[in-house]
Amino acid sequence: METTFTMPCAAQSVGPANQLIGLLINTLLASQCSLSPPEMWPKDYAPTALEKGFEEYDFIVVGAGSAGSVVASRLSENPNWKVLLLEAGGDPPIESEIPNLFFSMQHSAYDWDFRAEKSDKASKSIKNGSFWPRGKMLGGSSSINAMVYIRGNRRDYDQWEANGNTGWGWKNVLEYFKKSEGNKDDMIADYGGEGEFHGRDGPLKVESFSSTSPLKFVITGAAHELGYELLTDVNGEEHIGYAYMQGTINKGKRCSAAKAFLNPAKDRPNLHIVKYAHVIDLKIENDVVTGVRININGTKEMIAKAKKEVILSAGAINTPQILMLSGIGPEKHLKKIGVPVVKNLPVGRNLQDHPVVPMFFKFHKSDAHQVSREELLDAVYMYLSHGIGFLTNHETVDTTGFVNTKNDSVFPDIQYHHFSYQKQAPELFFVLSTISFEKNIIEKVMEENKDQDIIMVMVTLLNPKSRGKIVLRSNEPEHKPKIYAGYLEDQADVETFMRGEKLYYDKFLPTEAFKSTEGDFIRIPIPECDKLTFASDEYWECYTRNLVTTLYHPAGTAKMGPETDKEAVVDPRLKVKGIKNLRVIDCSIMPEIVSGNTNAPTIMIGEKGADLIKEDWKDEGKHEEL
């Protein structure tokens, strides 16, 4: 029997063996191609716009990320409204679909590749300033992140409301979290009573990660020894303890905001999505926004007009950049850059993030296991064929701890994230290099990883007091803005970090769970700190200031607040103050960053923001808010 498949070896075959092997390979290739095929994603309207020009739209949404995907989808539910969604990137790549490969998209064409400015107070052992990745594709950062589904806690949102942001308290926002959520884990979905904390029918699929890494149980075993509760649901009523987090995944694949909200809406005739559309600035006449100026595919500049509103959902970095390039921002700064001032507002201020300080621990010195080539190939086969195996998760990343290091409050001030790497893990070098640690730090960790497993514990500051800012580098839209992270400007942040570091070093390291797995601390070579007494307060402060970096959660740069709040850019209905027909709906409106990962809260902001728009444009003033 003849076969057209050519084997890359000299082995003889009468036909059937070659055919079977060829069938297997072709099946795997087809499975690979099915992970992110063009037909899965919405059609690009750019060719039509370039040929015929833009129609006039009711709403223009800038940014197809965690919030923008939601807003465009929800607004286009009204068949009488025409909606244009503009995205600077294109379709997500195959790597975006595979949970274990989430780190691989950084420094790629799917990443805005931002970097914070150098500071003499923080990130001192990080070359050229902290690297800040942001997703540049459909789904935005929800297509590049670690898929963790965390909401923060009720105190966060009740504080927003107490500060004058009516309608943003916990009871209000919880309904929007539930509206989005399609939770597939019965135990968690029913926790606290069916429907109290979770939704089952929303488009955003949420389920538990499938990781069975032994190091997960080392972490939670140590926590148990120390008296910490293993929480069933970190998005429920209790927030102090350890837990296995859920993620925005579905059957072993990422569930980004684009997949959840845009793919189901892609055939609506009233929703046009333009990819590779770089928004230059807003068109403003007499303090009224009428449209946006766009560069499509880097080849043609066009203007799209909006009859009702323009909604900026470009994220905590790009949203303030677009506002400032349009003349909406701090007057003194805009004049210095050469941008005509339209409205003097504190755009770009109030920048917050969840800064992290990594601590490195090593395990299994006598029996660490290195993933073999055969095991890796088996994992690829199991993933492509059955959607199972370690490519569906990211080892210990789902294992987290929330603690309060200062008092007995039921609300945490520190979160511990855990990134684990088996013996001689090739991805460890990529991760450390991406963070841009100094060469001697990378070499030390890689040396320890030659014969031991590694856990990088990210000590995370949940409620930073320090603030940074975003400013324009120039009045040219293609120039990336300057990011001043502002880490550790307030000494209270340093002290909270130190308490979190000492708790882990002093308490976790002596536990039986750590000792029985040969757990030990890796002392990182930092010349400035090595002169100090090891593990003293002075040492931990030095350690903190040298290694602090980002957890990729920038927020707050278009602050929401009442009229009396002079630091606010938008009001509680997310309208830009003093400008008509313009809203900001993304994480930049957060007055204070939430106490946990920011993707789920940003999707919630998209849901609530879309309802605010529907309410404001509803005939006879009828309310549609939940």
Q: Which residues are catalytic?
A: 553
What's the CA gap between 525 and 537, in Å, rounded?
17
Q: Is 506 helix (H, G, I), strand (E, B) or coil?
A: helix
Please, which residues have CB within 8 angstroms of residue 114's CB and are 6 or more apart in sequence? Answer: 131, 132, 133, 134, 317, 480, 483
What's the CA gap between 624 and 626, in Å, rounded?
6
Which helix (H) or strand (E) segment holds residue 561: the answer is: none
Helices 154-162 and 170-180 pack at an angle, to 10 degrees, of 130
Of 287, 297, 259, 291, nearest in space to 344 by CA: 287
Please, which residues have CB within 8 angstroms of residue 399's CB and are 6 or more apart in sequence? Answer: 216, 219, 220, 242, 243, 244, 245, 418
Q: Is 463 helix (H, G, I), strand (E, B) or coil?
A: coil
Q: Is 105 helix (H, G, I), strand (E, B) or coil?
A: helix
What Rg, from alpha-carbon coordinates, does the chain have?
Answer: 25
What's the CA gap between 90 and 257, in Å, rounded?
14
Residue 84: CB atoms within 10 A of its CB come to 30
Task: Tell me the torsion sign for CA atoms 227, 229, 234, 239.
Answer: negative
Beta 131-132 vs 288-296: how paired, if at all?
Answer: unpaired
Of 229, 371, 304, 290, nearest in space to 582 by CA: 290
Identity of the amino acid at 309:
E
Secondary structure of 502-524 in HEC code, one letter for each residue? HHHHHHHCCCHHHHCCCCEECCC
Q: Are 508 and 515 in contact (CB under 8 A)?
A: no
What's the CA gap between 139 and 72, in Å, rounded?
12
Identity of the amino acid at 463:
N
What's the CA gap between 416 and 524, in Å, rounded?
19
Identity of the amino acid at 563:
E
Beta 453-461 vs 355-363: how paired, if at all?
Answer: antiparallel
Q: Are 248 and 142 in contact (CB under 8 A)?
A: yes
How far does CA 296 lie from the centroid of its chain? 26
Structure tokens at 353: 């993030």
Identity of the amino acid at 9:
C
> What is each CA distance from 601 to 154, 454, 504, in whole angstroms?
12, 31, 28
